[in-house]
Structure 1
Amino acid sequence: MFSAIFKDQTGFIVTAALAVVLVAALCFWLAHRAGRRPWSHAALGAAVTAGVALTLFLPSGAAAAEASRVCVINRNYAEPFATQQGLLNLLLFAPIGFFGLMALRTLLPVIAGSILLSLCTELLQTLVPGVSRGCDSSDLQMNALGALAGTAIAWGALRLAKRPAIPPRRHARATAITSATILVAAGIAAATWITPVAVDATSLQFTGDKEKAAAHRAIRQAFGDRYKISNVQLQAGVDDSPDTLLIALNEGFAELTWPDGAQLNVSLESSSKTTPSSYPIPGVTRKPGSEKDALPIARRYAQEHYPRELRGSEPHVYPVGDRAELGWIISWRRRNSDGVLMPMRLDVQVNTAGRVSQLLVRTEEDPHDLPALTVDKKTAQRTALKALQQPKGHKVRIADSELLAVQRAGRWRAQWLTGFETDDKSAVLEPVYVDANTGKVDPRASRKEKIENPQEDGDGQVDTTQN
């Protein structure tokens, strides 16, 4: 976990360590001159500096030219206790609370100061350009609890040592005035520049034996014993989307829907340069030079690992890259007798070395109880166009429509998915779903993986935008 966080962060580690040492030395010197517990002050300075460095200056790896101006409010107060991030946030502020009381020996200013430090950190994370780490109420919650826990431990230690802290009432008025001033300023800043977004989950959660066993079964079916799983975490789903198991491999990563385990998405390699990370297919000795060569290679892999998905499905081959420099995607899909695209899907990306570099497999059974189809393609397109929020001054055109099976509130339905295009490249036109039975627009079709032909994105991975 820590190796992943600090990977390729040598510059940050060195700079942060120097800052911690310098601040600790300065606090020691000032406290020593004042005769005020220099070692405790040095530890407090080091803890605060380390906390600020990790929360504000640790590079996130994302392009952060603009401030996000969004604060996530987690409605699930218990969730952070089951996540690595939540426990790390708790541990991050526990030393601040502990050494704060050990150094200052005054309870209220330490508690209030620790919580306000976390609050200001969250605001700066979302307001300051270049930070872009995001404001999250769960972080504030766990930081505050960590500070309280550290303060409580220090208070107990001082009581046992018969060196009690200064009575709270001595600094109550000053603490209240200072805290109120900072809270008002923070409230004004938040109301002016920050948009709160309420969600049901924000962090990756720990997994148990069932989740880990499911991850091992899925990876073993796809690749045998070729890859080892180093970590499995749970990402909670939003709205109708299922939870997702995030699977870290010794080479590459994977995602598995949970608890159904129906969909596996694997990325082993995303570069035009072939590497040993991609999966070698036994019996393949020739490198593919065209779509015609790639298809039998992918079929050989699919017959060995996913024979059921091949039954009744038709393959289509798409080059990845302008000149197929990342290989080819061979996609198997299946339709029922009415032409409805079934949820089953198998996409195998074969690189130029004839190895599997990406995989998307959905092992969903074909639904047989779809409502009768009463809406044709043209009618659905007219309905979708009326429902679309069109950009002003630009003509919108219908790109295409696809009839597919989607799951809504636990039941399968046939819906027309209509995509749009316009000459305004900055406009984002979301596809519209029209129920093929009722003719009504469905604003929240269940989030399954995308149903159109796979396309290559900027880094060569299969585009799996959700419905």
Structure 2
Amino acid sequence: MIEASVSAVPRLIVSFLIISVLLAVPTAFAAKSRKKPWALRTALAVCLAGIVAVTLLPGNAGLEAGQCDTSLSSRAFTSSSSLLNIALFTPGAFLAVLVFRRPVTVAAAFGLLSGSVELLQSVADTGRACTMTDIAANATGAVLGALAGAAWLFQRRKGLRNPVRDLVWGMGLAALSAAAVAGLIHFRIDSVDVAAMDDQREDFTQSAIAADDWITETAKGIYGSDVRILESSSEKQGTRLRATVNTNRGSLSGWWPERDLERAWSSDTRGDEGSLSQKEVAAAADTYARKWTPKNVAGSKQQIRPIGDGATKAYVVSYRRYSEGVLLPMRLDLTVTTTGRVIGFTARTIADPKLPPVTVDEAKARAVAKGATGLPTESALLLAQKISGEWRPIWLVGSGKEDIAIDAATGERIAKAE
């Protein structure tokens, strides 16, 4: 990438002048001593100095040493950076054809130069980026320069030097260069798909904006349209985002793109002195839950229990779903006051897993647990848990200070459940 060099114009000019002197002066003297036309050769040396200065000047391209962007941008030949790369290699190839009169070999040689420069950018810790887009643009410039040089010679009626040999040597050099560059990138360089990374960043940005809009609007629905938003954020977890918003009346979090609410909690956690009965509180909780967490209500059983006492007591209203006696992983718990105000809730929204049939009853599970610990069992709960990435029906048996997990389909003891 040459944008870094173009943006550092003072350093670029100084570097170019120094390299030009180092290359052009010896070239001119050598040409004169051999009684060869020195002007074209000197100009070619200056072009090569420009390529070296522009491509190898230290910069900050964002890739680490030993990495190469092997993606090919859709703007490989239209972006400003690509056009600069094309323009950088075209004059040198043009002049080289005028000097050597072998356009195919010149194009292949400048293509090899392009690949060598990009590999050097990769292995040298100079902050420059090796990219396939640059190689393609540089090679395009080399081909255009070689074609322009051949056309100039044809117009001036100056023949090429052994066209057949030029074709054979040029095609062979091009093939060997491509194989060598591809091999080095494959075996010695870490390939990085920057285009895909950019797409992922763009997708994350767009998803984060959508998640922020959703969680903010939901907070206004829960806490009131006049609520003041203090802050919001999105955190990537796996393939989805956890969106969170804090307001002057409470907090709220949920999952995007599923739009599943996870937790809400009011900043006012005191109980209200209301007059609703337990049945009426349960009805108020059900109306709220069906509006904001409908996936957790469908097919679930509602349970309610009081917390606290006196005029400000509240209730915890829970929703649980069962399949053939197995407690499924979804959860929903709401804390509701006697005025019907929902102080907060926690939800775990998971699609009901398909489980193998239960073949081990509670009595057998308790016997296995007692045999494992030598202690009498105190409780037993049949629930779905993930074991090695697979949902299984599990007996969780309390035995002394240890809970024993037993696969309810096979009767085997589980060392550790997820």
Using structure 2 for the length normalisation, give the TM-score: 0.49
Larger Rg: 2
Question: Which structure carries more helix by proportion?
Answer: 2
